[in-house]
Amino acid sequence: MHQLLLYNFKSLIVRFLYDVNLKNKIAWGITGSGDEIREILKTMTVFKENNQEVDIRVFMSKSAEQVLNWYRIMDDLKTSFNKIRVESSPNTPFLAGELQANKYDFFVVAPTTSNSTTKIALGIGDTLITNAVNMAVKANVPVYVYPCEVGDGEKVTILPNGGELKITIREIDAKYIDILEKDPGITVLHNITELQQALQRFYQPNLDK
């Protein structure tokens, strides 16, 4: 209940501050997790189809490119989005600079690996995505993070071959997600529905009324 209230409060503040000066541009980070990757790609695609005035620019970690190829959905991503950049270094492409120059309405990272979640929580910016999150938060650009291991106990993820894999969410992983929950500059998303709602709240705020 506390997490839900905090999520809703942050969403309202973000919407209030940014409604009046929308750029209709989203930076979308993808890290190297296959968890719900098909559902996340579907969410991105459906949102784009329903909001054609919004420009989604995709930024992938090196591992994300490998994972999307493993799941055989890289071509689907390229078909739906023509502005895709792959990490070369923490500052190449210069996403951190673009975020600090206020070129995007917000930055969403989905999915976010446990490795990236930990680095973000500790303020480590040695990759394209983690550096961009750090710089965005410092510049007061809204950041949404969807950790692949959010929740308690076990979760089931779907493998590229359609098989199921049970993953145990470790206490240490939950600890770093907890740290992110307390960061006023970051909104932690707990499921696909919250991801969809975060997108819509920027561009169709009256849906909540």
Flag whether 118 is in a domain: yes
- Domain assignment present for 32: yes
Q: Compute the CA torsion angle 40, 43, 46, 49 (nearest 10 deg).
A: -80
Dihedral sign of CA atoms 71, 74, 75, 80 in order: positive
Q: 79, 81, 77: which is closest to 68 by C-alpha?
A: 77
Is residue 206 very low, low, confident or very high in pLDDT (cuts 50, 70, 90)? very low
Q: Find the range with the poorest average confidence among 8-12, 107-111, 161-165, 200-204.
A: 8-12
Q: Is 70 exceeded by the pLDDT of residue 8?
A: no
Stretch 133-147: mean pLDDT: 97
In this prediction, residue 207 has a pLDDT band, given cuts at 50, 70 and 90, of very low
* 133 contacts: CB under 8 Å, gap ≥ 6: 29, 107, 109, 120, 125, 143, 145, 186
Report the CATH number that the domain containing residue 50 is assigned in CATH.
Answer: 3.40.50.1950
Please report, for residues 58, 73, 113, 117, the alpha-carbon distance to residue 37 in angstroms, rounded to integers and kept in the order given.
Answer: 14, 9, 11, 16
Q: Give the Cα separation of 198 and 142 in Å (integer).
A: 11
What whole-number distance in Å separates Cα of residue 56 and Cα of residue 39? 17
What CA–CA distances, in Å, run from 73 to 58, 147, 148, 156, 183?
A: 14, 20, 18, 20, 33
At 50 the pLDDT is 92
pLDDT, position 10: 52
**Which of 95, 97, 89 has the alpha carbon at shortest distance from 127?**
89
Structure confidence at residue 2 (pLDDT): 53
Locate 47 and state its tokens. 């949102």
pLDDT score for 204: 72
The number of domains in the chain is 1
**209 within a domain of the structure (yes/no):** no
pLDDT tens-digit readout, 173-195 = 999 999 999 999 999 999 999 99
Q: What is the mean pLDDT of the chain?
A: 88
pTM for the predicted model, two decimal places: 0.86
Strand ranges in 22-124 using DSSP code E only, listed in sequence order? 25-30, 55-60, 84-86, 106-112
Asked whether residue 44 is domain-assigned, the answer is: yes
Instruction: Quote the pLDDT of residue 201.
Output: 84
Strands (E), 48-89: 55-60, 84-86
Domain extent, residue 166, equals 2-204
pLDDT value at residue 6: 52
Reported confidence tier of residue 205, pLDDT bands at 50, 70, 90 = low
Confidence of residue 150 (pLDDT cuts 50, 70, 90): confident
Q: Higher-confidence residue: 128 or 204?
A: 128
What is the pLDDT averaged over residues 161-172? 90
